[in-house]
Amino acid sequence: MKIPKMCLMCGISAILCLKRQGKDLESLYSLSPEIRDFWEKIRRKFIIKPSVKVYISDSHVLSYNIARDIGCTSVYLFDAHADLGYGGLASLNFELNCANWLGKLLKDEIVKKASIIYSPYTAEKPQDFKGINAAYNVEYITWESIPEGIEVAAIHICRSGAWTPPWYDAKFLKFVRDSGLSNLEFIDFMLRKWDIRNISLSQQINYMLA
């Protein structure tokens, strides 16, 4: 968990520095255009019944419990991070966390296969997980190579608040609604109110850490 912690510290420094320079933090971020047709592309590949349960949370670690409790045999992950465990096979001996949940699903033989569809903005490479790739059934695929007709047992949409600026929370909820699904359950999810005119710098930092 040292890498995310270091990144968060960099984020705090950036807020303080930009504040002193009078710069607008929000202008440094933009949403990927992929969100516009994400659900349309999903429905071309996956069969999603209206009754399918959709879980919304801040942490991806919940995916482990969802897959275990529902009895999933495979996972399709759309993310900039593989969450297979950072540090080789030894990282799967650590306690369950947001960085190793997918690797632990494989290690604990809860799922048989993990398919990872990376964001175009990822800094990771499949070879970063050489040991885990050799030990378990992990594939790195593109949208085009996803087979059609995959029946979905559950969907987990994770905000990852430490990586997602709070001023995008409303658009995140719109993204959830755009799925067209109604069987939603929010777990440990807090909507962050970003109003820099009425909150202090310390509150801004806390929101960035939420």
Confidence of residue 5 (pLDDT cuts 50, 70, 90): very low
- Model pLDDT for residues 38-89, shown as the tens digit of each residue: 999 999 999 999 999 999 999 999 999 999 999 999 999 999 999 999 999 9
Where exactly are the structural domains of the chain?
Answer: 37-193
Q: Which ranges in the chain belong to alpha helices (H)?
A: 2-21, 38-45, 62-70, 101-107, 130-135, 169-177, 201-209
Pull the structure tokens for residue 85: 């465990």
Q: Is 167 helix (H, G, I), strand (E, B) or coil?
A: helix
Pull the structure tokens for residue 122: 């990822």
Share of the chain above pLDDT 70, in %: 81
- Model pLDDT for residues 85-115, shown as the tens digit of each residue: 999 999 999 999 999 999 999 999 999 999 9
